[in-house]
Structure 1
Amino acid sequence: MRRALIATAVFLVGALGVATVTWVGAAGSTAPPVPGVSVVHEPAVGATDVGPAAPATVSVAGGTLDAVALTGPDGAAVEGAPGDGGASWSTTADLAYDTTYTWSGTARGPDGRAVPVDGAFTTVAPADVVRGVLDIGDGRTVGIAAPIGIQFDAHVEDRAAVERALSVRTSVPVEGSWGWLPDENGGSRVHWRPAEYWPPYTQVTVTADLFGVAYGGGAYGRADVTSTFSIGRAQIVRADVNSHRMLVFRDGEQVADYPASYGLSGDPDRTTRSGIHVVTERFTDKRMVSERYGYDLVEKWAVRISNNGEFIHANPASSAAQGSSNVTHGCVNLSTADARAYYDTALYGDPVEVTGTDVPLAERDGDIWDWTLSYDRWRGLSAL
């Protein structure tokens, strides 16, 4: 009786994207069976709404891959690399949103027979793509009270998903937490604050792997952002309004003692706020205007310490009060020489600890009020 070899090809494509080819001998054959070759796609062939940040992978059991490629609609191949001794291949670059990608290539079993690697899938089409911007750029040196801030250009609904994509690495151990603040400038914002002031001279890397993250409501992250920066020397201003002095400490040593005038205490709108302020900006010349109090002036050597109009700056007009009484509209007034000397040392993120008034710095004062909260309360602002 003449023997015949019957070849049976079975392609099964299901939720796991498995294509299987099995070769078996005819009934009564004494030839040993050839092991099967199984090709698995992740994401599955035909999948839609695929996240573009996770690697796309094809792998083969019982064989190796040969000349695999994943291409977009323009025919351009996505960067990738083999793994598992040639038994798998994965993309090494992000995919694009709202794009169909197609596999091509072959898998080969031990007998050299080829099994096609094919199929396609489509990535998610966002209703909106939201940008996040870090407020401390690469290579900067900042003060010991500087929080890490990310400002989004739209509202973030799924804050927990975003927060899971954020990480902070430091050259020395530093405890800290992310906290979500009220939306500002049309979008959500999140800060990372250490439990206590940063250790001076710490190296910090913040990574926000935001591309492909679902923000909720059909919105997704536009791009990853990262920054590596340094914490500088530990400079702290201690400003007791009742002393009429402003003291500057650097790395634990007092380096300056300036006569000062603070906000007039009889008017709550003019009282300098008590609490930990943070230096955010410096101006050699700053125009200061108040319709209510009737002034329009340009002041020298102005260092912003809050968003409610509080600055440390020169003011020759209040020189008679500096060191003896508080007459300002909330700012810390110094002589021109002293203001210049302080201006030259100030860094973004330096703390200015104001004490002695009955009006506390609060959320209404805007921007950086992170240090007005205890660390336990701050951690309560995390979404995780």
Structure 2
Amino acid sequence: MTGRRSLRWWRAGAVLLVGAAVLTASQTGAVGAPVRTGAAAVAAAPVVVVSPVDGAADVAPAAGVTVAASDATLQSVAVTAAGGKPLAGALAADGRTWTATERPAFATTYTVTGTATGPGGSVPITGTFRTIDPKKRLVTASAPTMAEGATVGVAAPIEVRFDKVLSEADKATAERALSVTTSVPVEGSWGWLPDTRRGSRVHWRPKEYWPAQTQVTVHAALYGVGLGDVGFGKNDLTRSFTIGRSQIVKADITSHRMIVVRDGQVVTDIPASYGLESDPRRVTRNGVHVVTSKSQTVFMTNPTFDYENVEMHWAVRISDNGEFIHANPASTYAQGKKNVTHGCINLTTANAKAYFDTALYGDPVEVTSSSVPLSKVDGDVYDWAIPWEDWRAMSALAPRN
């Protein structure tokens, strides 16, 4: 009796142990196989997520369009406006995510169609959404100083202008849509300059002068980007340009000479006359100026000093406060000897033309030994008058205390 009772208890214990083992396997499931509870389990139908969601309205075009399946492969996807062609898109390598590579139009209804196939079969992809109609509240972006394919100097800033004044938060949103790519590594930063009545403006400048012969592309992906109360970005903007040779003007006003250094070599050393130092209104401003334009003939006016429409030639503008490098035969007697001008750099006619012929937008003109610094009151391009760390702080994305 004792022996038989012991045998029965051993058998019961064996059953309990086996039962525990089966229960553990049932909870975890075998890798790669469905959990079974008696009859064979049926694989679930694919689950597809479309963004924007079905029925969404007032969608910002910049929000993006995606179709994603976590347990299936997308066989086909089309996002189409009524009577229009499908938006271009790209399928990920694993076949599970489709992303539109172009943005939808404003005030347009789009239909999403397609098929996803997985272990549980195939399901149709459906959905509709409508983009926002911003009426007339659109923000136009432009790059007025940089023509496509231009060759520019090594101090040239990149400028993007907006035809409306953006809030600080919206400047940050806009800046996230801006990018600069270069053929060689170049450290630089965006900096927002003071708003004007015409709108907001932002410049990108390198920490140091651009390396000569650098290829540069700036892209502003602003179409459909929400910019707060002023509306939505109306357009994208792309400019590609080349940094030319390095040409730097060295303008030490105490030397009464102007030196041109091209690709590290002095190519010109000529007599000059700068602004009259005894009158702060006439001083040639100290700091790095930038060539912004040039004209064979200009008519100069300054009511403060009683002259109007005085004809000058071979004029290269270096600031918006009226400073030029130009020919002035009337000051030839002072060139190389003393400074008598109203702020411009005067040269002989022959020397002015020779320099004029070589000048590019974006060439730096380094004025030194002057008593009045270049600043924002001197016009739109005073980027190089700002120390680098201060310039970086002018980015809308810079950390704020």
> Following the alignment from structure 1 to structure 2, what is the Cα–Cα distance between the partners of residues 370 and 31?
72
Question: Residue 131 of structure 2 is aligned with which of 81, 103, 123?
Answer: 123
Cα 1:317/1:92, change in 2 over 3 Å: same
How far 1:35 moved relative to its partner? 3.3
Which digits, 9 at most, give the CA deviation of each residue in 1:329-368, with x for residues without a partner? 1111100000001111111111111122211111001111
How far 1:218 moved relative to its partner? 4.9
Cα 1:107/1:250, change in 2 over 3 Å: closer
Aligned residues of 1:271 and 1:359 also touching (Cα < 8 A):
yes
Question: Is the aligned partner of 1:153 residue 2:147?
Answer: no
Higher Cα Rg, which structure: 2
Aligned to 1:325: 338
Question: Which is further off, 174-183 or 94-103?
Answer: 94-103
How far 1:245 moved relative to its partner? 1.1
Amino acid corresponding to residue 253 of structure 2 in structure 1? V
Question: Residue 179 of structure 2 is aligned with which of 149, 161, 167?
Answer: 167
Aligned residues of 1:277 and 1:353 also touching (Cα < 8 A):
yes
Aligned residues of 2:289 and 2:364 also touching (Cα < 8 A):
yes
Across the aligned residues of Structure 1 and Structure 2, the Cα RMSD in angstroms comes to 2.4
Q: Where in structure 2 are there 5+ consecutive unaligned residues?
A: 1-36
Aligned residues of 2:117 and 2:123 also touching (Cα < 8 A):
yes
Aligned residues of 2:139 and 2:230 also touching (Cα < 8 A):
no
Question: Residue 351 of structure 1 is aligned with which of 344, 364, 373?
Answer: 364
The residue matched to 1:269 in structure 2 has which SS?
Answer: coil
After TM superposition, which residue ranges in structure 1, 4 or more long, deviate above 6 angstroms? none
Which digits, 9 at most, give the CA deviation of each residue in 1:119-159, with x for residues without a partner? 21122333622111123233221111111111111112211
Aligned to 2:278: 266
Aligned residues of 1:126 and 1:218 also touching (Cα < 8 A):
no
How far 1:70 moved relative to its partner? 2.1
Question: Residue 314 of structure 2 is aligned with which of 281, 301, 321?
Answer: 301
Question: Residue 378 of structure 1 is aligned with which of 391, 394, 397?
Answer: 391
Aligned residues of 2:50 and 2:67 also touching (Cα < 8 A):
yes
Question: Residue 148 of structure 2 is aligned with which of 132, 138, 145?
Answer: 138
Amino acid corresponding to residue 131 of structure 2 in structure 1? T
Aligned to 2:238: 226
Question: Residue 202 of structure 1 is aligned with which of 207, 214, 222?
Answer: 214
Aligned to 1:104: 113
Amino acid corresponding to residue 246 of structure 2 in structure 1? A
Aligned to 2:34: none
Q: Which has the higher helix share?
A: 2
The residue matched to 1:214 in structure 2 has which SS?
Answer: coil
> Following the alignment from structure 2 to structure 1, what is the Cα–Cα distance between the partners of residues 114 and 74?
8
How far 1:100 moved relative to its partner? 1.9
The residue matched to 1:188 in structure 2 has which SS?
Answer: strand
How far 1:199 moved relative to its partner? 1.8
Identity across aligned pairs (percent)? 54
> Following the alignment from structure 2 to structure 1, what is the Cα–Cα distance between the partners of residues 96 and 297?
66
Amino acid corresponding to residue 155 of structure 1 in structure 2? V
> Following the alignment from structure 1 to structure 2, what is the Cα–Cα distance between the partners of residues 379 and 63?
46
TM-score for both structures, normalised by structure 1? 0.85
Question: Residue 70 of structure 1 is aligned with which of 71, 74, 79?
Answer: 79
Aligned to 1:58: 67
The residue matched to 1:223 in structure 2 has which SS?
Answer: coil
How far 1:185 moved relative to its partner? 5.4
Cα 1:69/1:172, change in 2 over 3 Å: closer
Amino acid corresponding to residue 274 of structure 1 in structure 2? N
How far 1:107 moved relative to its partner? 4.3
> Following the alignment from structure 1 to structure 2, what is the Cα–Cα distance between the partners of residues 363 and 310?
14
> Following the alignment from structure 2 to structure 1, what is the Cα–Cα distance between the partners of residues 96 and 109?
24
TM-score for both structures, normalised by structure 2? 0.82
Aligned to 1:20: none
Aligned to 2:264: 252
Q: Where in structure 1 are there 5+ consecutive unaligned residues?
A: 1-27
The residue matched to 2:301 in structure 1 has which SS?
Answer: strand
How far 1:197 moved relative to its partner? 1.4
Which digits, 9 at most, give the CA deviation of each residue in 1:264-321, with x for residues without a partner? 2232222211111110101111111223322322211000000000000001111111
> Following the alignment from structure 1 to structure 2, what is the Cα–Cα distance between the partners of residues 341 and 93?
48
How far 1:214 moved relative to its partner? 2.1
Aligned to 1:340: 353
